[in-house]
Each structure stands twice: as C-alpha cells, then as structure tokens.
Amino acid sequence: MNHDQNHQKPKTPTITLRKFTLSDVDSFMSWAADPRVTRFQRRDPYSDPADALAYITTHILPHPWYRAICIDNTPVGSISIKPAPGEDRHRASIGYRLAYDYWGKGIATEALKLTIKAAFEELDDLERLEAIADVDNPASQRVLEKAGFKEEGILRKYVRLKGETRDMVMFSFLVSEF
C-alpha cells in the first residue's frame, strides 16, 4: 500500500551490512572493476578477479571494521571504519563505495546511517567520525550531508589521487549529534 502516490522517487531498497567472505569476489568486482566508481579512489579499477581475491584476503577480511552493503544479502558496495592512528582512539574515518547501477537511490546514505549507529555503539571511546570527499565529487558530499555529517572546511592539496593533488572537503559526525 503505497500512500506516497505523488512521490516521484522510488523508495530506497532495504539494505543490510555484513562481513565479506571470499565468495563475494564477483559482487566485489561489480564496483571495484568500474572506473566510474574508482575515479575518486587512489587505486585503479581491478581487471583480474585474482587481484580482487587477494585484496579481500589481505585487506578486507583482517580489517577491524569492513562491511558489505547488501540488498537481499548480495553485496552492492562496501563501507569501512578506520580508527585514527596513535593515541587518538576517539576518532575514526569512514570510507564507502557503491556499484554504479545503485547510485542515486539513497543506498549509500542508508549504509552510512547504519554504520554511524554501529560505530558509536561498538567502538569504545569514539567521539568523532570523519569523512573526506573530493571537491569535484558533489554526489558524495550530498550523501554525507544527508546522513547527518557536518562540513567543517576544505583542506587544500590534501591527498594525492592518480598523479594529482586534490582539495578535499572534511566532514564530521560527533557523538553528541548521535
């Protein structure tokens, strides 16, 4: 029973987060091999599933917090939390990527909301979640804002991306906002 008769946008599908397994390699390739998705990542798109398998094995499986964004238990993207180095355990950064066909449906925003909740519930002493988005990536900036992150400023020449040094927008989500 859809009461939103005049609402043009389709509803966001139900999404869940779970840990990756090696059998997710084909799903993983659906975004990791796509240059449209890797455009704002340091890495180039994967072309060989063997390389993707190696990445899942050496980086994803042992990672402290790395989840598959799933629709009907099938991964359509990933999201991860990385604690800040050294003494600053109160701080962690979020990164996420989504298969191109699933852009524009509110999925990344929903995955972020679930991750924010999990982060503040699971990580002791966490007070600040942060995320950066390329100045030329307004879609990602909007996702972060819709999920409740606040823009703090533009950090100039902050990261190297495929041979170029990029300006990044810094966002934060504080425990007090949770």
Partner 1 sequence: MDEQATEINQNRQPLAVTLREFELTDVDDYFVWTSDDRVSAWWRWDTFTNKEDVLAFMEETVLPHPWMRAICLDGRPVGAISVTRRTAEHQCRAELGYVIASLYWGRGITTEAVKLVLGTIFGDMEGLERLEALVLVQNVGSQMVLEKAGFTKEGVLKKYLIYKGKISDMVMYSFIPTDN
CB of 158 to partner 1, least distance (A): 7
Angle subtended by helix axes 107-122 and 138-146, to nearest 10: 50
Judged by CB under 8 A, the residue of 123, 128, 148, 178 near partner 1 is 128
Judged by CB under 8 A, the residue of 118, 123, 135, 155 near partner 1 is 155
CB of 90 to partner 1, least distance (A): 5
Candidates 94, 92, 120, 96; CA nearest to 108 is: 96
Instruction: Specify the stretch interacting with partner 1 by CB under 8 A; choose among 19-27, 113-121, 134-142, 168-176.
Output: 168-176
* Residue 124 in contact with partner 1, rule: CB under 8 A: no
Closest to partner 1 by CB, 34 vs 127, is 127
Closest to partner 1 by CB, 118 vs 170, is 170
Pairing mode of beta strands 128-134, 91-98: parallel
Direct distance between the N- and C-terminal alpha carbons of the chain, in angstroms, rounded to an integer: 32
Pick out residues in 30-49 that bind partner 1 (CB under 8 A).
Answer: 42
Within the chain, where are the H helices? Answer: 25-32, 35-38, 49-55, 107-122, 138-146
Asked if residues 165 and 157 have their Cβ atoms less than 8 Å apart, the reply is yes
* Residue 154 in contact with partner 1, rule: CB under 8 A: yes
CB of 27 to partner 1, least distance (A): 27
Can you say whether residue 141 is alpha, beta or left, with left for phi > 0 and alpha for psi between -120 and 50 degrees? alpha
Residue 64: CB partners within 8 Å, gap ≥ 6?
81, 82, 83
* Residue 58 in contact with partner 1, rule: CB under 8 A: no
Instruction: Specify the stretch interacting with partner 1 by CB under 8 A; choose among 1-9, 45-53, 95-103, 148-156.
Output: 148-156
- How far, in Å, CA of 49 to CA of 101, rounded? 20
* Residue 59 in contact with partner 1, rule: CB under 8 A: no
The site for partner 1 (CB under 8 A) is made up of 42, 87-88, 90-91, 127-128, 130, 152-160, 165, 170, 172, 174-175
